[in-house]
Structure 1
Amino acid sequence: MSDLQKSLRIRESLLPPASDVIKRLGPRAVAASYIQLLDAAYDTVEDGDELMAKFINTLQDSGEKTSTYLHRLQAVLNQAVRRGGVATGEANRHLLKQLCRGCWDNALLLKLEPLKDAPPSFVDLLLLLRGEEDKEASRAVRMKQHLGSARTQVATCAHSTHVREKKLE
């Protein structure tokens, strides 16, 4: 897609007041100019250091899946990288470090600890977390089924004993 087509798509997709912001650039402006102007108008005004502090203080919420927490961390980290709060080459290391710092799942932390020397990319880390979450969900279903069948057996045995006792009376 040419830059002119990208610019056209951006202009067509915007509604006021965003469309009013880019009007002054004119229809022949390149897409990057539109994006830069929209970022200046609507993106966060925090600097990189403030965004990095926000990233470091982001913890997993109660009941939140670890993969969802990772997505939140990645969004804040991306902003910090864009604003110069952290070097792009250091992003994976910071992401894993904060994930370990703010995650509440101790079993998962034991699996993540060895990765600190060579931190995986966001995608690889996400795949690892989702795989672990799927395993845990499967384990929980199996446990529920097992305990459900054990309760049924206990209830059946109790009922049989009760029936036998009634017949003896």
Structure 2
Amino acid sequence: MTHWRRTALPLLVAASLPACAVGPDTSYVAQLQEPEDAQVLATGMAELVVMQLPAASSTLVLTPTSSDQSGNAFTKAFASALRRRGFAVAEDRQPVTTSAHRIRYLVTPLDNGDLARMTIDDSTEGSRFFVRNTAGGLQAGGPFTVTQAEPAR
């Protein structure tokens, strides 16, 4: 096997792992290293929502995680962080209007921290890496990377 193939194969396998766990209508949250990580990640991800949507007039629907992740700490912290910022967050099975914004998210370990990704209305995607500082706490490792889909013509 050539050097290129030995390098590319593990990268392809690693890239496909989150895709296996997350369907188009599912969010995903890996096991967090520390209990306080959920709050740091949630507050940081809420910042992106604030930059993209008007708080007082927006209702948000968080795409649920799979049933085996239903009690994860991040989802609860994320909903609370969004409410503190002025958003209405629909509860499971609560009827919502067609104008509600849908948010899907993925939180997974990466290197010495966590990668958080979010999709808003299948048109805006944002990612942010959170890194462990020297005290062991999680903090934003840089700005958001945001992409927006081209409007249909």
TM-score (ref. length: structure 1): 0.25
Q: Which has the higher contact order (CA 8 A, sep 6+)?
A: 2
Larger % of strand: which? 2
Which protein has the bigger helix share?
A: 1
How high is the TM-score relative to the length of structure 2? 0.27
Select the structure of larger CA radius of gyration: 1
